[in-house]
Structure 1
Amino acid sequence: MIGKNPPMASSWLVPNRRQDHITGMTDDFLIKPDPSDPRLTRKVMGTDHEGRAIETTVVVERPLTLFLNGQEIVTNMTIGDHPDYLAVGYLLNQNMLQADDVITAIDFDEDLETIVVRTERETDYEDKLKKKTRTSGCAQGTVFGDLMEKFEEVRFDGNARLNTSWLHQLTKKINTQPSLYLEAGAIHGCVLCEEDRPLVYMEDVGRHNAVDKIAGYMFLNNIDPANKIFYTTGRLTSEMVIKTVQMGIPILISRSGFTAWGVELAQQANLTLIGRARGKRFVALSGAERIHYDLDPTALEDEPERPGRKGEDGRSGWRKKQQGAV
């Protein structure tokens, strides 16, 4: 119900918009998935195709109701880690939170499964909340209002660069990093990168949640997007392109394929759009002028068959692991 009073918080997540602390760092994975976190997965008994009893790991999802000041905005299904980043990023990507807004508090109540973002600016989005669009995300995300708000204002310049050696290292590091996907499947991941370093790796049941978490992290930590690279495990859809452009990141990469509208929007914004990035191979359908070919692909082997993220054949390391479960 729109406009009901938000609950009091039992814990406080204090925002801190400090200066960009990422640029120039040499470390990988400032934030990364923790597949050992007992809150995020559960063991379940079942039966396989041969009638054998098996035990498998499944991802836990739970509702999170988001309020902006005194107004209920949406209830998202999420794995429940980083609720502050998810809430702020969602509001940013819905154009309900502006770049110059001052967040005075973020109140999270784990028991009531609610989070309240409070700002100095008074807000009222009742009219916008009446207009909603279902997205193509696996967790059925919702976009309020005009999808193209803010998008039309952005066209990236050509200053950003992507070395093919960075691309090769990024895909290798990301796809061998322990994750909830490799542990349980049924989840999407997004990674904020700089040059050949994956820095912030978020996962969730819907790719829109994963990208919103990174958007929230960038806002609360005042991260400059101009020299960043965005990696997603999901398809390169219109939604993913729009959110990447809204975040101001000029390069978007995925192991997966493209949609036609996603490509058209990327070309309109001059976003570098790279899909099917596996091993030494990739396809760029927009912004290829930013790519610097500093790596000889003939010196690299094709990506080996190993436990990892699924490719175009639809197989995955998680599925193969389940086939061998007893």
Structure 2
Amino acid sequence: MKEFEIAPDPDDPRLTERVRGLDQDGRSVETSVTVERPLTLYLNSQEVVTMMTIGDYPDLLALGYLLNQNMLRPDDEVIGVDYDDDLDVVVVRTREETDFEEKLARRTVTSGCAQGTVFGDMMEKFESVVLDPAARLRTSWIYALSRKVNQRPSLYLTAGAIHGCVLAEGDRPLIYVEDVGRHNAIDKIAGFMYRHGLGARDKIFYTTGRLTSEMVIKCVQMEVPIVISRSGFTSSGVALARQAGLTLIGRAKGKRFLCLSGEDRLIYDAASADQEDEDPRYERKGARS
């Protein structure tokens, strides 16, 4: 795959709107804001959830959501994904019926923005996953990935109020998607991987959002051994990462980062003193999380 096989398109007119307001001095200003719309997901004939999303890649979001909630198994045969733009509905069809009704009854609302959800039996798969112990992370890759993502045109730089997630191989960002919820963005990546048969055992996951328990669980289920974030950690996210043997890097901004789990995968091949400070465009925007 080439770098940025999928990347944000800030020029897509469906994703932002121009609105007028007043600034701190009472002057009239016009600015771009991110569009947020509902997307109702059906699995076969049953409604599963309505998500708030920017609306791009609804097919990937639907597939990834079902996979990461264990409603859809990797060996299930998907015979179609139908999206109706007028109704804001996406339907995933499988050859055989599923048993997700029981899972819906155990749904728990989490701290993730935009109605993130996690299910009680997600930990069943989490505890059985063995992440590749041979995977390695060079510190030079951390710095290179951060620079490439920061320099890429994005909705964040255009309008803000959004999270980004990246699947990378070494220092090469392969897939870069954004959404109003970081869990939506990671689900889009999971959907892409499923659709294209892309393995994750040698990949790196980069996100602009917080490393919460939900994000850690999804990354482990996807079998990604290394996760990097511009933002910080929650205690549950760190504990689960250590339990799973996941390498967890946070607060990766400019020349700084912090590793709280899986430090044995780190190879220090680039001195922090030789790196540049944070891109000032991101500093002006403030924290994404």
Same fold at TM > 0.5: yes
CA 1:176–1:116 in 2, change beyond 3 Å: closer, same or farther? Answer: same
Alpha-carbon distance in structure 2 between the residues aligned to 1:303 and 1:56: 24
Residue type of the partner of 2:281? P
Inter-partner Cα distance in structure 1 for 2:130 and 2:233:
20
Preserved CA contact (<8 Å) 1:40 1:80: yes
Question: 1:74 and 1:301 mapped to 2: Cα distance?
Answer: 43
Q: Work out the CA distance in 2 between the residues paired with 1:121 and 1:67.
A: 15
Match in the other structure for 2:285: 316
d(CA) in 1 for partners of 2:207 and 2:57?
A: 18
Mapped to 1, the partners of 2:120 and 2:87 lie a distance apart of: 28
* Pick aligned residue for 2:101 from 123, 126, 139: 126
Please tell me the residue identity of whatever aligns with 1:279: G
Compute the displacement of 1:146 (Å). Answer: 2.8
Gaps of 5+ in 1: 1-21, 320-326
Of 40, 47, 51, 1:65 maps to 40
Q: How does 1:271-286 map to 2 (within 5 A)?
A: 271-286=246-261
Please state how far the C-alpha of 1:124 moved relative to its aligned partner.
3.3
CA distance in 1, matches of 2:18, 2:135: 44
Q: Indicate how the Cα distance of structure 1 residues 274 and 126 shifts in structure 2: closer, same or farther if over 3 A, else same.
A: same
What's the TM-score once normalised by structure 1's chain length?
Answer: 0.85
In structure 1, how many angstroms separate the alpha carbons of the residues matched to 2:133 and 2:140?
A: 19
Instruction: Give the direction of change, closer, same or farther, for the CA distance of 1:158–1:144 in structure 2 (3 Å limit).
Output: closer
Aligned partner (choices 79, 101, 113) of residue 88 of structure 2 = 113
Contact 1:182 1:318 in 2 (8 A): no
1:249 & 1:68 partners in 2: Cα distance?
Answer: 26
Partner of 2:269 in structure 1? 294
Q: Distance in 2 between matches of 1:317 and 1:238?
A: 23
Displacement of 1:145:
3.6
Q: How much does 1:316 deviate?
A: 1.7
* Contact kept in structure 1, 2:131 and 2:201, CA below 8 Å: no
- The answer on whether the counterparts of 1:129 and 1:145 sit within 8 Å (CA) in structure 2 is no
Report the CA distance between 1:181 and its aligned residue.
0.6
Rounded Cα–Cα distance in structure 2 between residues aligned with 1:299 and 1:203 = 30
Instruction: Work out whether 1:225 is the aligned partner of 2:200.
Output: yes
Cα distance in 2, alignment partners of residues 300 and 122 from structure 1: 53
Counterpart AA for 2:181: G
The amino acid that maps onto 1:243 is K
Quote the residue 1:165 is aligned against. Answer: 140
User: Could you tell me whether the CA contact under 8 Å between 2:143 and 2:275 is conserved in 1?
Assistant: no
What displacement does 1:149 show?
A: 2.9
Aligned with 2:26 (options 24, 38, 51): 51
Q: In structure 1, give the amino acid aligned to 2:10.
A: P
What is the number of residues matched between the two proteins? 288
**How many angstroms does 1:268 deviate by?**
0.4
Residues 60 and 190 of structure 2 are in contact (CA less than 8 Å); yes or no, is this contact kept in structure 1?
yes
Residue 212 of structure 1 aligns with which residue? 187
Q: Which one of the candidate residues 161, 165, 187 is aligned to 1:190?
A: 165
Does the 8 A contact of 2:70 with 2:122 survive in 1? no
Q: Which has the larger radius of gyration?
A: 1
**RMSD, aligned CA:** 1.5
- Please state if 1:303 is matched with 2:278: yes
Determine the structure 2 residue equivalent to 1:84. Answer: 59
CA contact (8 A) 1:185 1:318 kept: no
SS in 2 for 1:64: strand
Moved more, 258-267 or 156-165: 156-165
Aligned to 2:127, what secondary structure does the other structure show?
A: helix
